[in-house]
Amino acid sequence: MGLHEFRDRHLRSLRAVKRRVLEFGVRPLLLRGRVRHVHGPENVRYGPDELLVITLVRNGALYVKSFMEHYLALRVAHCVFLDNGSTDGTIDMLREYPRVTVLQTDAPYDRYENTMKRYLAERFSAGRWNLCADIDELFDYPFSDRLPLTGFLRYLNARGFSAVVAQMLDMFSPVPLADLKSTVDDRLKEKYTHYDISGIDAPPYEWSQASSSDIRMHWGGIRRAIFGTSNGLTKAALVNMNGRVKPFVTWHHATGAIVADVSCVLLHYPFVGAFADKVQDAVRTRRYGATTTDEYVAYADALRRNPRLSLMRPSARCFTGLEPLIAEGFIVVSSDYRRWIDATPES
């Protein structure tokens, strides 16, 4: 090894150690003094077969109605929001719903994103399951029309799983982006009805111990096809904070977990009427950090080149439920899980 190579490797190692100290040592301590309680219970108790939803949010008013209706219908135990500077009435809207806690912080998102998520998980769901979902994401699991959420969590507990992979499914409207007008009363599932999974790469899953080789990483999708970006579409969104799992490693993954043999979906709704405004704000403020800002720059370039941009292609399909996604292998369902569905009286 030459002197220059040794020096570069040493510097990279020092930078990695510095990042680790900041993320797991300094920033958690600093964040605690920058969080204030705004609304709802400061402590939430729930059972091992119940689910807590944690969400970072900023200016999510267009999503609150659909988000809360969806998760209350799913019968989650509670939703905890950490607001990061909303100015559009998001907090007032959240106050109107039951089983909601709202906190607020002015910590910069680009440096504290993982720290903020980890703070919520550790504070509110120690020893229990939590789902980290963005305000524009609606979670669903296979055969949720037959098996209640408690039954799904009982399956995970009975098999000793401590994390569940969720694949993001980008949803969009059939009309051009410029023609979309959004209001706070929109129901996302009714307005953004299409998806396109034709351009997804699916290499082996890289994080934690997967219980099935069918669990894969997803990359690309409609955003790569339209905007040329290489988006990661896989998250360890559902985790059990059992003391061994470390969540939010490189943003969306977990280490130390036993990953379930069934995967889920996050219906993702970024392409609403305010998409162009959010893109411009993200490029201007760079609040999402260097890597994600580059994605927003690509979105801005595409919108500038084609003001009448549409995401509809011949490969787009109308969403009719999870069954077609299961049939195509987008979502994984093991034979063991199917037997659980058949044997569970609740279903």
* 24 and 88 both lie in a single domain: no
* 82 and 170 both lie in a single domain: yes
Q: Looking at the predicted structure, is the pLDDT value of residue 21 above 50?
A: no
Q: Looking at the predicted structure, is the pLDDT value of residue 48 above 70?
A: yes
* 139 and 161 both lie in a single domain: yes
Q: What is the pLDDT of residue 345?
A: 76
**Phi, psi angles (nearest 5°) of residue 310:** -125, 145
Q: Looking at the predicted structure, is the pLDDT value of residue 50 above 70?
A: yes
Give first-to-last CA distance, the chain, whole Å: 62
Q: What would the pLDDT profile of 228-261 be if each residue is shown by its tens digit?
A: 998 999 999 999 999 999 999 988 999 999 999 9
| pLDDT classification of 113: cutoffs 50, 70, 90 | very high
Segments forming the whole domain that contains residue 28: 1-32
- pTM over 0.85, yes/no: yes
| pLDDT classification of 22: cutoffs 50, 70, 90 | low
Closest CA to 301 of 216, 226, 237, 231: 226
DSSP secondary structure string for all residues of 265-331:
EEEE---STTHHHHHHHHHHH-TTHHHHHHHHHHHHHHHHH-TT-----TT-EE---SHHHHHTTSS
Q: What is the pLDDT of residue 1?
A: 56
* 207 and 304 both lie in a single domain: yes
Which of the two residues, 120 and 9, has the higher pLDDT score? 120
Q: What is the pLDDT of residue 17?
A: 43
In which residue are the tokens 């399909």 written? 317
DSSP three-state, residue 194: strand
Closest CA to 255 of 289, 206, 187: 206
Sort strands 129-132 and 234-240 into parallel, antiparallel or unpaired: antiparallel
* 60 and 77 both lie in a single domain: yes
* 195 and 251 both lie in a single domain: yes
CB 335 within 8 A of CB 144: no
Q: What is the pLDDT of residue 26?
A: 85
Closest CA to 233 of 111, 110, 116, 330: 330
Q: Looking at the predicted structure, is the pLDDT value of residue 131 above 60?
A: yes
* 26 and 136 both lie in a single domain: no
* 165 and 272 both lie in a single domain: yes
* Mean pLDDT value across residues 17-30: 67
Q: Bridge-partner residues for 170, per DSSP?
A: 268
* 20 and 64 both lie in a single domain: no
* 250 and 144 both lie in a single domain: yes
* Mean pLDDT value across residues 163-180: 97
User: Average pLDDT of the chain?
Assistant: 92
* 301 and 162 both lie in a single domain: yes
Per the structure block, which two tokens stand in for 220? 């690309």
Q: What would the pLDDT profile of 91-109 be if each residue is shown by its tens digit?
A: 999 999 999 999 999 999 9
| pLDDT classification of 287: cutoffs 50, 70, 90 | confident
Q: Looking at the predicted structure, is the pLDDT value of residue 306 above 70?
A: yes
The total domain count for the chain is 2
Q: What is the pLDDT of residue 232?
A: 94
Looking at the chain, the whole-number percentage of residues with pLDDT higher than 90 is: 84
* 26 and 150 both lie in a single domain: no
DSSP secondary structure string for all residues of 220-282:
ETHHHHHH----B-EEEEEEE-SSS-EEEETTTEEES-EE-SS-EEEEE---STTHHHHHHHH
Q: What is the pLDDT of residue 292?
A: 82
* Mean pLDDT value across residues 317-325: 98
What Å distances lie between residue 151 and 71, 108, 215, 253, 344, CA to CA?
Answer: 16, 38, 21, 24, 8
| pLDDT classification of 227: cutoffs 50, 70, 90 | very high
* CA angle (18, 292, 68) in 5-degree steps: 105
